[in-house]
Amino acid sequence: MAVLGSPLRTLRALLRELRQASGGTGRPYRDTPAYRHILAAFRAHRVTSEKLCRAQQELHFQAATYLCLLRSVREHAALHQEYHGKGERSPEEVAGLVGFRLPQQPGGKG
């Protein structure tokens, strides 16, 4: 099993991903229901001196899983935007992409 690290570090990384995900909406990420839910869940499952929360490790694992999902979605969108096909290309353009040149036709036709 992988080491999860600190719950505070996971929370900060989650909030960073939420901020990046809501960057284009024009709405502050702190006004989103996801932000409020994550903070409420972390506050409800923190360990205090009065009680020992048995579900803390479960919450931390779920938070780390959700963080992995958010990062993967963001990275997938970036890769898709970079490498997605841009429609049909001419043979000369395709040859240039792979580093070749098309042969010239005799008689100056090409």
Mean pLDDT, the chain, rounded, equals 83
Q: Is 66 left (phi over 0), alpha (psi -120 to 50) or beta?
A: alpha
Number of H helices, E strands in the chain: 4, 0
Check pLDDT > 70 for residue 55.
Answer: no
> Using alpha carbons only, how large is the chain's radius of gyration in Å?
25
33-42 burial code (b ≥16 CB/10 A, e <16): eebeebeeeb
pLDDT digits (tens, 9 = 90+) for 80-104: 988 787 778 888 888 888 888 888 8
* pLDDT band at residue 109 under the 50/70/90 scheme: low
Average pLDDT in the 22-50 region? 82
Domain parsing of the chain, residue ranges: 7-98
Average pLDDT in the 10-28 region? 87
Dist. CA 12–CA 9, nearest whole Å:
5
Q: To the nearest whole percent, how much of the chain has pLDDT over 90?
A: 27
- Can you give the pLDDT at residue 14? 93
